[in-house]
Amino acid sequence: INDIAHNNGVIALENVFGNIVSMVELAKANGIKAILCSLLPAYDFPWRPGMEPAGKVLQLNEWIRDYADRNGITYVDYHSAMRDSRNGLPGNLSKDGVHPTLEGYKIMERLVLEAINKTVR
């Protein structure tokens, strides 16, 4: 999400995805089973209003899910479990629309533990 927000400069969405693929390939080369997770929903960034990141988040999540499916990698879909009607984080799951609250982390914990158990069995 930080790359989509351009926190460290502008980076193309394709390059963000390429970086994720590179990390997975490095993990595989070292005998590590990767688990890929979706980005959390984000409708806006309070520190960069008007960027409207929801569409980019959805696109990147689609690429990540497709890559995971094609490569037999476990995928954790936080986005579907946590989004509101605007494809953002609802107020009970985030105070700033980006960072999860304790309630949000509990949802994430449940989903990722299921994925870990599925992957390491």
Q: Which of 50, 33, 34, 52 lies closest to 42 in space, CA to CA?
A: 52
| Residue matched to tokens 């988040």 | 57
Record the pTM: 0.93
Query: How many CB atoms lie under 10 A from the CB of residue 88?
Result: 21
Distance (Å, whole) CA 58 – CA 39? 8
Q: Which of 53, 60, 64, 111 lies closest to 87 in space, CA to CA?
A: 53
Q: How far apart are the first and last CA of the chain?
A: 30
SS3 sequence of 30-87 = CCCCCEEECCCCCCCECCECCCCCHHHHHHHHHHHHHHHHHHCCEEECHHHHHCCCCC
Domain locations along the chain: 13-120
Distance (Å, whole) CA 79 – CA 89? 9
Whether CATH 3.40.50.1110 fits 13-120: yes
- For each of the chain's 121 residues, which pLDDT tens digit applies? 899 988 989 999 999 999 999 999 999 999 999 999 999 999 999 988 888 999 999 999 999 999 999 999 999 999 999 999 999 999 999 999 999 999 999 999 999 999 999 998 7
